[in-house]
């Protein structure tokens, strides 16, 4: 195999690996919201191993968001964590049955108010598998295990601040509705998949170009 053919094969493998990693992150939707808004957040958890996911923990910064309610999910129970002031700082969903099986994903819903001065919400998630292994989704953007981040836009000029009460008028998907397209532009679910596809196509194109050059040089000789 020529070095150009080897390069092509390497590019293809890297593209496929990148696509798999980018599409498998634990992600909190929507990816964009507004200061002071009441929001319904969906925690999307894909299972990445051949064993079940049995526990999912999400921690949220109290200076950026105040979570107050959680939607019950069949087959799972949840436990909330609070700080010394009584503010909710996290939630842990634990499977009461088989958990999240290979090839499956699930969404967990919670509701709360975005802080008036927030600029982003960084969600740290911990995914526990049946064998006791834990994947910590707490890294920086671009890492193998990045924390999910919701960008917070400034509220429109003249908009009134929230009154401190959770009205239940969240801007996310309707209760009970699968958040297939949640996101600032209505297509958050597919954003990472599209990026993965573009990267894969680019890598494949580079590999094909290298292969064509190699074949052309060989034919010329």
Print pLDDT tens along the chain (221 aa).
Answer: 555 445 444 444 344 444 444 446 899 999 999 999 999 999 999 999 999 999 999 999 999 999 999 999 999 999 999 999 999 999 999 999 999 999 999 999 999 999 999 999 999 999 999 999 999 999 999 999 999 999 999 988 766 655 445 555 555 443 334 444 344 333 443 344 444 444 455 555 566 666 666 666 666 65
Q: pTM for this structure?
A: 0.68
Domain 25-182 has CATH 1.10.150.20: no
Tell me, rounded to whole angstroms, the distance of Cα 118 from its chain centroid. Answer: 19
Could you tell me how far CA 194 lies from the centroid of its own chain? 14
CA 70 to chain centre: 18
The SS3 assignment for 159 reads coil
- CA 21-25-29 angle, to 5 degrees, is 145
Predicted pLDDT of residue 185 = 39
**Residues facing residue 82 across a β-bridge:** 88
Q: How far apart are CA 172 and CA 187, in angstroms?
A: 13
Please report the pLDDT score of residue 167 as a whole number.
53
User: CB under 8 Å to 26, separation ≥6 — which residues?
Assistant: 43, 44, 45, 46, 56, 125, 127, 135, 137, 148
């Amino acid at each position: 195999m020529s070095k150009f053919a080897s390069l092509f094969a390497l590019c293809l493998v890297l593209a496929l690996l990148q696509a798999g990693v980018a599409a498998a992150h634990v992600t909190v939707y929507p990816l964009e919201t507004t200061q002071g808004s009441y929001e319904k957040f969906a925690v999307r958890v894909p299972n990445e191993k051949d064993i079940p996911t049995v526990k999912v923990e999400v921690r949220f910064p109290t200076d950026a968001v105040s979570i107050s309610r959680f939607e019950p999910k069949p087959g799972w129970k949840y436990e909330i964590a609070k700080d010394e002031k009584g503010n909710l700082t996290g939630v842990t969903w634990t499977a009461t049955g088989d958990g999240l099986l290979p090839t499956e994903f699930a969404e967990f819903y919670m509701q709360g108010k975005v802080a008036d001065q927030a600029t982003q919400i960084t969600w740290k998630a911990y995914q526990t598998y049946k064998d006791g292994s834990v994947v910590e989704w707490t890294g920086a953007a671009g890492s193998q295990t990045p924390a999910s981040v919701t960008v917070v836009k400034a509220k429109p000029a003249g908009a009134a601040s929230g009154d401190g009460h959770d009205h239940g008028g969240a801007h996310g998907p309707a209760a009970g509705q699968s958040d297939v397209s949640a996101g600032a532009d209505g297509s958050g679910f597919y954003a990472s998949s599209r990026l993965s596809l573009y990267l894969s196509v680019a890598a494949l194109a580079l590999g094909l170009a290298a292969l064509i050059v190699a074949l052309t040089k060989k034919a010329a000789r």
